[in-house]
Amino acid sequence: MGMSKKDLSRKKANIKARIAELEPKVRMDPLKRHPEWHDELAKLKKDLEEE
């Protein structure tokens, strides 16, 4: 069974909120001392583009 429009919009909003939370951290970490932040940000941006 598919997701409702409300569920899809909530999922998209959660992804955008997480991206907004991670972007400042990633910008302050140019040497990639926390690669998990960079990987998660890339994955979230990819997921957001797919929807």
Q: What is the pTM of this model?
A: 0.86
pLDDT in tens, 4-31: 999 999 999 999 999 999 999 999 999 9
Contact 26, 38 (CB under 8 A): yes
Give me the domain span that covers residue 28: 5-50
**Predicted pLDDT of residue 39:** 98
Of the candidates 39, 13, 12, the one whose C-alpha atom is nearest the C-alpha of residue 26 is: 39
Counted domains in the chain? 1
pLDDT in tens, 24-50: 999 999 999 999 999 999 999 999 998
